[in-house]
Structures are given as C-alpha cells and as structure tokens.
Homo-oligomer: A and B are copies of this chain.
Amino acid sequence: MPDKILDAVTSDPVSMGWMQGLPPAPDKRLAWARADHMRFPTHRHAFSHMREFLPTARVGRGQGPVWQLPVALRDDLDAVAFTRPDDGRSLTWGDVHAVNFTDAVLVLHRGTIVYERYFGVTRQDTPHIAFSVTKSFVGTLAEMLIAEGRLDPAALVGDLVPELARSGFADATLRQVMDMTTALDFSEEYTDPASGIGAMSNALGLTPRPSGYAGADDVFAFLPTIAKEGEHGQRFTYRTCNTEVLGWIVARTEGERLDQVLSRRIWQPLGMEQDADFLTDTSGMPFAGGGLNPVLRDMARFGEVMRLGGALPGGGQPIHAAALASITAGGSTAAFDPAGYAWLPGGSYRSQWWFVGGNHGAYSARGIHGQAIYIDPAAEMVIVRFGSHPVAANTAFDPTSLPAYNAVAEHLILHG
C-alpha cells in the first residue's frame, strides 16, 4: 500500500490496475482475507465488484420491460457553484466529483436524465455497493406493510420477533426501530473493531473474523445479544442493528427472505434494468443495513418513484401513497437535533430516510463512502451517487455533497 495521501486521481482504480492481468500481479491482487474490499484505496475497485469477494443473493428484475428513463443531457450543471460550509471555499458541481471520490453520479430532472457521469471502474451496468442506502429500501418496504395493515407501527419488537423478547429490542416499538430512536448498547464506530458495528460485521462475515472467533455466526444469532441502554423513543441514534431487526420483521411478515421481497415488491414492479446483488451471511439472510448492490440508474428509478408519490410515470402505484405520505411527513427534529449532525441543520430521520432540512422538503438515502439517493421535491429533482471516499463517515463528504445537491436543485428551479 502506498503511504502517501492519495487523491481521487492518484487512487483511480483503473490506473492502480487492481485485479488486472491474467493473473494479476501479486501487488495488484485484492483479497477478502485482508479486507481489501473494505479499505482505501483498494475499495475503489472492490465497491464495484462485491460479488467477487462475498456470497450474494440475486435481487431479480424479472422479465418485464425496463422503465426507460429519457435522456437529455445538459451542459450547464458543471458550472453550478456552491460554498463549502466547512472551509468557506467555492467549488463547482463539475469539480466536486474528484474532491469527494465520486464513482458515478446522475441527476434526474422531472424524470429525465440531465446529467450522468461514471468514473474509475464503475459503468452504467456495474452494480456498486450502496451501503446504508439499502436501509431506505427496507424502511420503505416496512411502510408498505404498514399501509397494507399487515404491520402495526405501535407493535413491540418482542411480540413481532419472539427471538428478540429477551434482547434490548424487546420493548421497542416498530416505529422506534424504523426511526432509530431505540436506546441500545451498540456503537456505530466503523473504525473500531470492538464496536457494535464491528461485532456485527464479524457475525455477518463481511470482514475476516479474528482467529479463535467465538461470536455469533449470523445476524439472527447476533441481534438477540444486543442489550438496552437507556429509554427507547427519546432521541435518534444511528445504529445499523435497527435495520437488521427491521429486515427480519419485513421478511417474517412476508414469509420470504429480504432479497425475494425486494425483487417482488420493488425490483420487478419498477422495471429495473439490472438485477441487484445482495450480500448475505451464512444463514442466507441479506445484509439489510448495507448489503445492496444496484446499478446507478436503478437507484435513480427508486428515487424517482418516491418523488412521484409511489406512482410510475407509465401507470401503476407500486408503493402506496399512504406509505409515501408517512415517510415524507419527516421525523422529529427534537429527537434528531441532539445527535449533532452539523451538516443537516433542521434535519430529521423517518422510516430509514434522512430529511436534510431547508425549505425544499428534500430527503435522502445515505451510505458511507458517498452513496446517496437525494430527492428534492421542490426542484422536481433526484440525484443518485456512488462514491469510494477514503473515510467511512458521512461527515467526511457531507460538506462537499449536500450543499452541491442543493445548489443543483436551486439552479434547476431558477433555470428550468
């Protein structure tokens, strides 16, 4: 590994030549056993090749017609300027992609692709790990089941999943899990192997287990070990284990594994253009909190159907209007504020979606290293992005992404 600090150009996975050659040279090989798929700069290749490192289930698009997205690229967006709130410097939309290690980015305006760029090893037909963007798919599925009367947001997790009746989740409501207002002994510190998320990563097999590992072998064994810490319902704390519980509840309610639910309820009805890959643990359960690998345009389709209130432009309503209304009502700012997200003033969290504050009603699915679906109803705009930023924390790229998305939105409002 090079020990100087690499930027987006010097860490470009094509010029790095990862896994190129027949065979790849020893210093160009990436290995799951070394967790190369989860660290910079090698992750810049791996994020677009996760199925080659890990077992995956297929989220099938079926055999139906593809939802064709009209394309009318415009050349005025690259010059859109914005100010970084962290250092006050000015940047343009065209320049920011290298700054925040973008792998792919697309802007939909009124349902038409007006901007689309691919970098490094990522292409239109390349599934890329979406990390926690996955959560917003799962949260939306849960809202769909609530809209159908098959789940009660006031139900207690211990009743919905008896296996969790002695865990910290037992007396949390489904709504608290969806909105992440549970109070649990689980830290979401990605760089700390002793954290809750580190233990969960071991249980899921996402990264190599330490020798002599005696922890949980899958997500089902891991979740019951999480204890309560404090009182549920008081404040928002971002913990991926909530989404694992939510995925379990959705799967159990539907009587199918999450990959199958997602295929039947979203991938097929939306006319996605590619199958998606879903990372699984040894039980076959997909990683609900961060394991989905879609192509960029399919992430855009999901954003667009959300923007359209759950309806498809060609007819049909795969996501109930009531589910959309519940999500877009947004979450409690009082519960969100104490979490201290400096770049989301006035924000909130609802049903696994982030509300970004401001007067556009914008909300977003957000994943570490730069994954996003950003929906701006006022601008009739959806931005989707894949990234491979060196740092596994949203704060590392929020100052160069959230204001950029908003600047593009303002530009589209002003210039149509």
Q: Which A residues contact B (CB, under 8 angstroms)?
A: 19, 22-24, 29, 31-32, 49, 51-58, 60, 62-63, 66, 125, 127, 218, 220-221, 248, 251-252, 257, 273, 275, 280, 282-285
- A63 contact from B23, B218, B273, Cβ within 8 A: B273
A120 to chain B, nearest CB (A): 17
Contact sample, A vs B, 16 pairs, CB 8 Å cutoff: A19-B283, A22-B252, A23-B220, A23-B283, A24-B284, A29-B282, A51-B51, A51-B57, A52-B55, A52-B56, A52-B280, A52-B284, A54-B55, A62-B125, A63-B273, A275-B275
Copies per assembly? 2
A123 to chain B, nearest CB (A): 10
Instruction: Kindly report which residue of chain B lies nearest to residue A282, judged by CB atoms.
Output: B31
Instruction: Kindly report which residue of chain B lies nearest to residue A63, judged by CB atoms.
Output: B273
Q: In the docked arrangement, what's the CA distance between A406 and B403, Å? A: 69
Inter-chain contacts of A248 with B (CB < 8 A): 22
Q: In the docked arrangement, what's the CA distance between A184 and B65, Å? A: 50
> Given A66-B63, A125-B60, A275-B275, do A22 and B55 touch, yes or no (CB 8 Å)?
no
A134 to chain B, nearest CB (A): 17
Q: In the docked arrangement, what's the CA distance between A52 and B24, Å? A: 25
Inter-chain contacts of A220 with B (CB < 8 A): 22-23
Query: Top 10 nearest A-B pairs by Cβ distance?
Result: A23-B220, A23-B283, A19-B284, A52-B55, A22-B251, A22-B252, A51-B56, A52-B57, A52-B280, A52-B284
Do B52 and A53 have beta carbons less than 8 Å apart?
Answer: no
> Given A53-B55, A55-B51, do A218 and B252 touch, yes or no (CB 8 Å)?
no
